[in-house]
Copies of this chain bind each other. A is one copy, B any other.
């Protein structure tokens, strides 16, 4: 899941899907090339989408020969609260550096 976000191209794909949800593979390829200047091959993008889908960040729905990709930000929320919320509770207690 974090590994899915580690790649810049995949993050751009998520950007593209937030702007226009439910795009097909070829649509994404075209918009990445034109708007973002990325010259990635179709297979590369396809594998990126596989990774995003495996991470639960993208859900795909098949209709005919088209496959529409929808972003799903649900997996994102609990994970950031993991450090953001808890960080506020107890501020910066100095550690005991008594050896060990």
Contacts and interface: CB of A to CB of B under 8 A. Distances in A.
Interface string A66-91: 10101101001100101110110011
A3 to B, nearest CB: 5
A46 interface: no
Contact of A95 (B2, B21, B93): B21
A20 interface: yes
Interface residues of A, number: 37
A56 interface: no
A77 B83 CA distance: 10
A39 to B, nearest CB: 17
A97 B90 CA distance: 51
